[in-house]
Structure 1
Amino acid sequence: MKAIWHDTVIAEAPEGDLIRIEGNWYFPPSSLHRQFFQPSDHHTTCFWKGDASYYDVVVDGQANDFGAWYYAQPKAGSIERVKQDFTDYVAFWNGITVEA
């Protein structure tokens, strides 16, 4: 699977390494092409997964603010609910596509 923005692959991993949560594909941290990711100060809270942190995705000088998110410390019980440890796994939105 590939995460793509502005015709650039920003993350890539076999589908079996990804985790599907609420319709979103979460990529393992090792699959990210780190040169495209910058930490963001943006945070949100999911009532059952916990506090999400974000990355800005930057390709060819164009920034996709808050284009990727992850849970550094999933809320108690959420890993059991998902049945996999999704700590630091990254999901995408805001125009970033995920393709097989």
Structure 2
Amino acid sequence: MKAVWKNKIIAESDETRIVENNHYFPMSAVKQEFLVNSDTHTRCPWKGKASYFHIKVGAEKNEDAAWFYPSPSKAAKPIENYVAFWKGVLITE
């Protein structure tokens, strides 16, 4: 699976995990040069507290377009430190 934005591959892995129709990529499969830390956090009732990244390609920035669970609930442990994408990031095989 690949996560693509602005014709750049942001992440690529054969080891994604699907939760609620989202592909979560291992953090090691994400190209860190495209990620910018965000101060945004949300809470999922069953997964716990999510943290976000902006995606930056050249001068273009996609705010809070990636999220992950650094310390998920017990039920969501399989996606601990896996990253999912939205806001126009194309997920493709």
Please tell me the TM-score bracket, short chain as reference.
over 0.9
CA RMSD of aligned residues (A): 0.8
Matched with 1:38 is 36
Structure 1 residue runs of 5 or longer lacking an equivalent are 80-84
Which residue identity does 1:20 align to in structure 2?
I
How far residue 73 of structure 1 moved from its aligned partner, in angstroms, is 0.4
Counterparts in 2 of 1:1-100, with a 5 A limit? Answer: 1-14=1-14, 17-79=15-77, 85-100=78-93
How far residue 78 of structure 1 moved from its aligned partner, in angstroms, is 3.0
Separation in structure 2 between the aligned mates of residue 64 and residue 13 of structure 1, nearest angstrom? 21
Structure 2 residue runs of 5 or longer lacking an equivalent are none
TM-score by length of 1: 0.90
Structure number with higher strand proportion: 2
TM-score by length of 2: 0.96
How many residues are aligned here? Answer: 93
How far residue 91 of structure 1 moved from its aligned partner, in angstroms, is 0.1
Matched with 1:82 is none
How far residue 88 of structure 1 moved from its aligned partner, in angstroms, is 0.7
How far residue 77 of structure 1 moved from its aligned partner, in angstroms, is 3.0
How far residue 75 of structure 1 moved from its aligned partner, in angstroms, is 1.4
Separation in structure 1 between the aligned mates of residue 22 and residue 79 of structure 2, nearest angstrom? 12
How far residue 86 of structure 1 moved from its aligned partner, in angstroms, is 1.1
